[in-house]
Each structure stands twice: as structure tokens, then as C-alpha cells.
Amino acid sequence: MELLSIEGKVHHSTSFYANKLCITPNYLNERVKNDTGIPVIKHIRHALLIEAKKQLLYTDHSINEIGMTLGFEDTSYFIRFFRKLTKKTPGEFRRKEKP
């Protein structure tokens, strides 16, 4: 979880974290799921979503810039990722939630 908090903005795959820990992706997923009840990929997505929300609310960066900062090569993929988890586009979220 500590590694995810450091690398989570850029790296989105279970295999990246497994390699950093010198274990297999399956073993990492098994251990995390046993300890938390949640698969690794859900932890990764949650950390990524939290960071996306922070940047949308507290910066004036464009959605494209935020997506690139978070490791999405394509803005449309970032928008789909965000909408799938929040039921809102990043732009809708920013307009409704930004103070």
C-alpha cells in the first residue's frame, strides 16, 4: 500500500507492483485480497481516482493535462475510466464539486 501511494499516479498495473516487490502478480493479488478483501486492481483504481479528483478540484490543469499526469496516454481513456467509477465525466465532476 505504501508503494501504491508513491507510484499510484503513474503505474496502473498489478505486475508493476509485483515486480517492485519481487513476487508474482498472482501472489500479490492473493495476499492483498486475503488481507483486505479487495483485489489489487481495485486498490490501484481507487488511488488513481482519488488523485484525479484532487487534481480536478484543486488545480486549474486541463482534463487532458490531468490525464497525462496520471499516466493515461489518451484523454478519452481517462474520461471513460473516470465516468465508469463516478458516473460523471471529469468536466461534470469539476463543475459540480469545485468550490
pLDDT in tens, 30-61: 999 999 999 999 999 999 999 999 999 999 99
- Ramachandran region, residue 57 (left: φ > 0; alpha: ψ -120 to 50; beta: rest): alpha
- Given a contact cutoff of 8 angstroms between Cβ atoms, the answer to whether 14 and 25 are in contact is yes
Q: What is the pTM of this model?
A: 0.85
Apex 46 CA angle, 40 and 48, nearest 5:
105
pLDDT category, 1, cuts 50, 70, 90? confident
pLDDT > 90 in the chain, percent: 79
- Between helix 90-97 and helix 75-86 the angle, nearest 10°, is 60
| pLDDT at residue 94, as a whole number | 96
